[in-house]
Amino acid sequence: MTLRVKKIRPGAVLPAYAHDGDAGMDLCSAEDTVVKKGSRALVPTGLVFMLPPGYEAQVRPRSGLALKRGVTVLNTPGTVDAGYRGEVGVILANFGEEDFEVKRGDRIAQAVVAPVTRAEIAECGEVDSTERGEGGFGSTGV
């Protein structure tokens, strides 16, 4: 599949895979900004994705930023739907111990393009039983 991308800001960087076989392509900031410690910010990419029907782009954190700086994508994975034609933005959250400075062109997140499966919804009157049942939220231990 081909992901068509339009740059809408000066200095916007097209998404790119760092290595052959990578699932995620890097997304870069289109402007300088600072994400204060303990806060969040919407960081623009300067890009509009034109995904074909039946696909989505999932915006995900970069593991190095999360581990080394405490910076992650807050709404993860964020979904870019095939019909959306606005600028792709990344909501960065800074859980680190110091402010996080973002420069235009810095890699801030990654995008994974994936096929979408749409479910047919059928209301039912009964719920079948399973071995797990209603166990959730840590019911199998820490």
- Determine the Cα–Cα distance for residues 28 and 16; give it in Å rounded to an integer: 9
- Determine the Cα–Cα distance for residues 7 and 124; give it in Å rounded to an integer: 46
pTM, two decimal places: 0.90
Residue 16 has what pLDDT? 97
How does pLDDT run across 42-59, given as a tens digit for each residue?
Answer: 999 999 999 999 999 999
- Determine the Cα–Cα distance for residues 14 and 111; give it in Å rounded to an integer: 12
How does pLDDT run across 73-95, given as a tens digit for each residue?
Answer: 999 999 999 999 999 999 999 99
Residue 91 has what pLDDT? 98
Enumerate the domain spans of the chain: 4-115
CB atoms within 10 A of CB 31: 16
Residue 137 has what pLDDT? 87
Residue 40 has what pLDDT? 98
- Determine the Cα–Cα distance for residues 106 and 136; give it in Å rounded to an integer: 38
- Is the Cα torsion angle 80, 86, 88, 94 positive or negative in sign? negative
Question: What superfamily does domain 4-115 belong to in CATH?
Answer: Deoxyuridine triphosphatase (dUTPase) (2.70.40.10)
- In order along its 142 residues, the chain shows pLDDT tens digits of 999 999 999 999 999 999 999 999 999 999 999 999 999 999 999 999 999 999 999 999 999 999 999 999 999 999 999 999 999 999 999 999 999 999 999 999 999 999 999 999 999 999 999 988 888 888 887 7
Residue 127 has what pLDDT? 92
Residue 142 has what pLDDT? 76
Residue 122 Cα distances to 61, 119, 125, 127, angstroms: 34, 9, 10, 12
Residue 131 has what pLDDT? 86
